[in-house]
Structure formats: structure tokens, C-alpha cells
A and B are shown apart, each in its own frame.
Chain A
Amino acid sequence: DAKTTQPPSMDCAEGRAANLPCNHSTISGNEYVYWYRQIHSQGPQYIIHGLKNNETNEMASLIITEDRKSSTLILPHATLRDTAVYYCIVKTTDSWGKLQFGAGTQVVVTP
């Protein structure tokens, strides 16, 4: 599976958009990009995933570059409840159940 690189931490003001980058320069054609988040002491929560097209759901948007070597998770209007560690994971569909979590990005939303 491709390795991902994320910044260790970032701050965001409440009400503003939070843009979380992820680098996956060795991604292969059949690998999806998944985003999960973990609010303190809770189990991880699925956010969104995509292959090459941009995706949007009620929680966030996922923008994948044309060469697929990087992506950005966008939380359009960050709230205090979005404070969490965000994980970018790259997986193929044949064994996507075996998620490999890195250190993630600690996002702190401030009032």
C-alpha cells in the first residue's frame, strides 16, 4: 500500500474552512484515498473516500489532484466538534478492510 504523509498538526478558526493536505506520491491506479477522523478517546469515524474524481458528502469534500499524488480534505465550516486527529489512508479495494493508520493530523478548531 502507498505511504501517506500528513502535517502533524494544524489550527483552524471556527466557521472557516479547514483544508487538510495529504501526500501519497507512490499511489497506484487501483488504490483509493480514505479519510477517517478520531475525536479524543473515541473510535475512528469514516469521513469520505475517492479514487480519482472529487467527492462530496454531508461531512466534507475530497479533492484529488489529477496525477493522484496528493489530496485535500475540506471541512467547509469547521466547528469545535471537528477538533480531532484526521487520518489519510490509501488502500486497494481487494483488502481495504485492513486499514493502516499513520500518525494523522491533529486539527484544533478554535473559537
Chain B
Amino acid sequence: NAGVTQTPKFQVLKTGQSMTLQCAQDMNHEYMSWYRQDPGMGLRLIHYSVGAGITDQGEVPNGYNVSRSTTEDFPLRLLSAAPSQTSVYFCASSYSFSGSGEQFFGPGTRLTVL
């Protein structure tokens, strides 16, 4: 299993540009989520999905859009990039939203918005 994969690893955008961060998992996990991590801080939840076709907002959803058409993929779209969105983005997945257990994290996408 590849686990959780994220592309690209690095990205530089100009203010106002849009882009999609890709996240995929091959573990047949129901639950997927996106976090952002600013320098020196812990992770903050952006959006999450408890299954294909179901998404919901996390702690910091503004400026981001998600959809989940398949179990495997959960892309994160930046609608109009702003310097405040410069961050490291992590995707995570787990077997289910409830119950107990571990989440698996991807390697991250490092985004810089100029």
C-alpha cells in the first residue's frame, strides 16, 4: 500500500491564482481530512469527509473548497490564493470518523503564495 499520497510536494502561487492540492489513499478509508500547519504551530482542520459525497467544514474552511466523488480521492481547491494561505497542507485518512483508532497522514504540500 502507498498509504496517503499528496501532490505536489511544493507549489508557489501568485495572489489570486487558483489551484488544487491532490490527496489519495489506497486503504479504502471512509474518513479523509485536510489540515494546514503554519510555522511553529499545530495543525488546524480545514475540511473533512466521512465518505464519498459527504463533506463538512473544519476549524478554518474559508478560502478552500472540497468535494469527494470517490472513496480514494479528496482534493482541496484554493479558489483565489492569498498570502495568508502560505502554509504546509496535510491530508489524513482513517477507517471511520467515529470509534477509536489512528489517522494516517500524508507527507504534506508546502505552499507559498506571493
Interface residues on B, range: 20 to 34
Query: B58: CB under 8 A from chain A?
Result: yes
Residues of A within 8 A of B (CB-CB), count: 22
- Shortest Cβ distance from residue A3 to the other chain B in the assembled complex, whole angstroms: 13
- Shortest Cβ distance from residue B62 to the other chain A in the assembled complex, whole angstroms: 17
Is the beta-carbon distance between A43 and B106 smaller than 8 angstroms? yes
Is the beta-carbon distance between B42 and A43 smaller than 8 angstroms? no
Q: Hey, what's the 0/1 contact readout for B34-61 against A, CB within 8 Å counting as 1?
A: 0100000111110010100000001100
> Cα distance A88–B43 when bound, in Å?
13
Query: A111: CB under 8 A from chain B?
Result: no
Is the beta-carbon distance between B45 and A44 smaller than 8 angstroms? no
Report B-chain residues with C-beta under 8 Å of the C-beta of A51.
100
Most buried by B among A46, A87, A94: A46
> Cα distance A47–B35 when bound, in Å?
19
Closest chain A residue, CB of each to CB of B41: A103
Report B-chain residues with C-beta under 8 Å of the C-beta of A102.
42
**Which B residues are closer than 8 A to A by beta carbons?**
4, 31, 33, 35, 41-45, 48, 50, 58-59, 88, 90, 92, 94, 96-108
Question: What are 19 A-to-B residue pairs whose CB atoms are below 8 Å?
Answer: A32-B100, A42-B108, A43-B108, A44-B103, A49-B100, A87-B42, A93-B98, A93-B100, A97-B31, A97-B48, A97-B97, A98-B33, A98-B45, A98-B48, A98-B58, A99-B43, A101-B35, A102-B42, A103-B42
